[in-house]
Amino acid sequence: MSGDTTTVPINSKLIELSGPEPDVADTKYWLIHLQDSTLESLQEVQDAGVTLISHRGENVYLCRYTSTDLDRLRGALAVKSINRYPASAKIHQDLEEDIKVLRDNSSEADTGSSANSVPIAVNILLHEGEPEEAANLIAQELVADGRAQAKDTTSGPGLVTTVVSSDALSSIAAFESVHVISPQSEKDVSNNLCCEILSAEYPQLWPQKNNAPENNTVFDGSGEIVAVGDTGFDNGTAWSSKKDIHPAFNPDKIAAGFCPFNPKPKKQAVMEDLCGHGTHVAASAVGFAQSPSPMAPGGRRIQGTAPGASLVITQLADNKDKGRLRASDANGVFKDAYNAGARVFNESWGSLPMKNGKPYGYDKAKWIDEYIVNQPNAMVCWAAGNDGRKRNKAQRIGAEASAKNTLTVGACHSSRLDDGSGTYAETGSPGDAGTIWEGSSVGFVFDSERIKPDVVAPGHLILSARSRSLSGEDLKDVDDRGKSTDASYMFLSGTSMASPLVAGCAAVLRQAVKALKPTVTNPSSALIKALIINGAVPLVPKKSKKGFYVPDYNWGFGRVNLQASLQHLQKASGGSAVQCGIVDDIMPSGSKGGKLVAEVTVGHGQTIDLTEELMRPRLKATLVYIDKADDLIQYRLYLKVSQASKQSSYWYGNRAKRTKDDKDSQRGDCENNVQQVIWPNLAPDTYRIEVETDPKQANWAKVPFAVAWFLSGDADSAGQKQIIE
């Protein structure tokens, strides 16, 4: 076998695979370097007893191999080399950087001490597939030998949280079952005008885009449940009584409340919202005022984007501990709400930066992606963060907001009157909803080239419900963003405010899909995400040198437009051709080639009248697939749109180039599980929308995926054949 040196990324470190190969199988966890990543090679090592855990790049896989027969592995033609999963890889780079800052600070405080060892709060994550009792055994041993205190230590499936001395990390890394040791992080919480901007005030579906029928169906999220994980809800009213509910909410739409991180309150009660964040967020998603408000245009009722949806609150703040957020695993954040029927989740919070000011990496997001892999119909919207004004990568999106399978939401301005200092004033100037709010964290993902945010929505000067339990500084500062003439409402700004607006849109889309597409009874999060992204509107279209749109690191794929997303669900009417469609499907394990999704035909003479200029039609398609939880893309699917009469004319998702002579067009996007093609100025022809698999890296599991597409133009001149129902 080859002795070539290969370097792969593990836990934000670059690990070199070199040195002599092991003679004995003294571990279950190996880095196996294959000749290639074809289905045949993966099948050969799996037949030898190997369980694939994750792909680390360069045809290197982290694997579990429980046999002591290394010769069996060495004899496999697909195997190039085998290496132990090294203990040095288990101490996350973020943890080492935090320890360095703590040591420097300790040395400055006590110049007489070398400060080699410092206490640090850590998460000890076990390898995928380790039995539940493995975490308990590690926790017990750490407490028994004094490396940790019982009061600081908890354990659950695959995870131990504790506080240890930094010089104990090497001994913890020696546990075979440990995958990574990472730092714990402090969590922080990062509308009618907004509904108008998002085309969500009274979203309708028109079978004919330019000819609305008399009886349009209005979608408002009815039948859907939105879960908000946040600081609490209003005055902590018991849910079972439905009494004294905040006037910004419909009492009949309050479904349930949970306090997973505080055992004292009863299950059906949520502690009061002392800072007001959770109440404000919840109303932006599902609020529907019980009476008109002087703050609403024309004295109407103030409402969220899904006023017909029901609400579940998961209270993540501990008011006994200065409102500290306690959220570290999916069971606490998602499980209760999911079991109560919620399929749309909003999380407007995240980890505070590392001690050096930079954002934490993907390690903080892995548990979120794992949950969505296991519950693929859980649509999770996550606020991007409010670090846009920082510099030197500190403004980049990281931690929880970097999860691949969530919809990460940045903030643009609203049209609210602004006095120039970020404060609402009746004498101010209207904001520009076509520009990014300066505080919104930007992409790409920290230490990665993945596209985030996915979309943006208004997050500046958002008027929403004011908690009746505001206290302390939060009560004192309630008018900092402008004074509301309605005491039930207040202004706040941030991506925290943008995300629930989009969560409400997701609930509306779930309702519409189930009503209009009878075969899609349980839409996946990939489908709802694809609909939102394909309907989004670019803010300031950024173009490549050849004049084609590409995603932008400030606003991702654009500002949400609910009406445009709903139009993907329209049906043919009066003999006209359908111009759009959706697919919610699964790519089988080891699939070769991929799937043809649709064929779209553009007729001769087809044009669009845009600002009195006749233009040819435009085809827009978005692929979203649910990827395995890992910092690297594990399952590679590629969106491809090609022109039938010209084999050399095609686009891959997120690629600006599209001709046979361009190298980039010969491969798909290996960094993103969200891919989009926008093909403007279409010539008369048939266009094929396909989802391809990677011929050089086989997927070793089935992959849920969805595609949404829309052809802009005259329906009478276009035709479409949907391949997958």
Q: Which residues are catalytic?
A: 230, 277, 496
Cα–Cα distances (Å) from 393 to 358, 397, 436, 670, in that order, read 7, 9, 18, 22
Query: Exposed, middle or buried, 243 (CB in 10 Å: 0-12/13-18/19+)?
Result: exposed
Q: Where are the beta strands (DSSP E) in 589-632?
A: 595-602, 608-610, 613-615, 618-625
- Cβ-in-10-Å burial (0-12, 13-18, 19+) of 211 comes to exposed
Q: What share of the chain is helix, strand, coil (3-state, %, to 5)?
A: 20, 30, 50
Neighbours of 147 (CB within 10 A): 18
Q: Is 414 helix (H, G, I), strand (E, B) or coil?
A: coil
- Rg (C-alpha) for the chain, rounded Å, is 26
Residues near 556 by beta carbon (within 8 Å), at least 6 away in sequence: 408, 410, 443, 451, 452, 453, 454, 455, 456, 533, 536
CA angle 383, 364, 349 (to 5 degrees): 30
> Using CA atoms, how far apart are residues 444 and 449, in angstroms rounded to an integer?
6
- Local structure of residue 593 (DSSP, 8 states): S
Q: Is 475 helix (H, G, I), strand (E, B) or coil?
A: helix
DSSP state of 665: G
d(CA 264, CA 465) in angstroms, rounded, equals: 27
Helix ranges, 517-554 (H): 525-535
Which residues have C-beta within 8 Å of that of residue 351, sequence separation ≥ 6?
Answer: 185, 186, 187, 188, 359, 360, 364, 398, 399, 400
User: Is there a cis peptide before residue 548, judged by omega within 30 degrees of 0?
Assistant: no
In this structure, the number of other CB atoms found within 10 A of the CB of residue 579 comes to 24
Q: Provide CB contacts within 8 A for 111, sequence distance 6+.
A: none
List Cβ neighbours of 108 (8 Å cut-off, separation of 6 or more): none
Smallest CA-to-CA distance from 668 within 709, 703, 633, 701 is with 633
CA–CA distances in Å: residue 457 to residues 508, 624, 675: 16, 20, 20
For tokens 């024309």, name the residue: 298
